[in-house]
Amino acid sequence: MDTKFWISGVVMSVLAFALGLVVHGLLLGGDYTPLAGSVYRTPEDAHGYLPYMVLAHILFGFAVTWIYRQGKTAGASTLGQGVRFGLAVAVLMTIPTYLIYYAVQPTPGALAAKQIVFDSIAVVLMGIAVAYLNRTPGEA
């Protein structure tokens, strides 16, 4: 694991956390408010679990970097590879996770749909970012 891997892992961890704040704090915060204390933790209770959230984003950032670097196609478009990778992660992880949450907890259907759409967009953006962070010199 070279320096580029470590830099990419850190950048992707920060980006995952930031996009999580945008999606779940800004875009969906109003949707979560009426569910606090019943379906989701209250904001006061959630603060005690912040270290787990940070750890999850660190693991995600480094895992995304590691997996992307294993499947990178030499000579292929960086943007295309990033979009493809982001879509694969969304189909593998994001969409099934929210469908499972919807099936096992009383999440409103509209909220589940928004979570799937917004987080899928975020994961595709992260796919593009990891592709550009890990391109070799001269790749477009």
Q: Where exactly are the structural domains of the chain? A: 3-133
- 8-state DSSP, 34: G
C-alpha torsion 89→94→97→99, nearest 10: -120
Tokens of 13: 């961890």
Per-10-residue mean pLDDT of the chain, 140 residues long, equals 95 98 96 92 92 97 97 90 97 97 96 98 98 84
Q: What is the pTM of this model?
A: 0.91
For residue range 113-124, what is the model confidence (pLDDT) as tens digits?
Answer: 999 999 999 999
Q: Which of 129, 111, 139, 137 is nearest to 23 (CA)?
A: 111
DSSP string, 57-104: HHHHHHHHHHHHHHHPPTTS-HHHHHHHHHHHHIIIIIHHHHHHHHHH
pLDDT at 68: 97
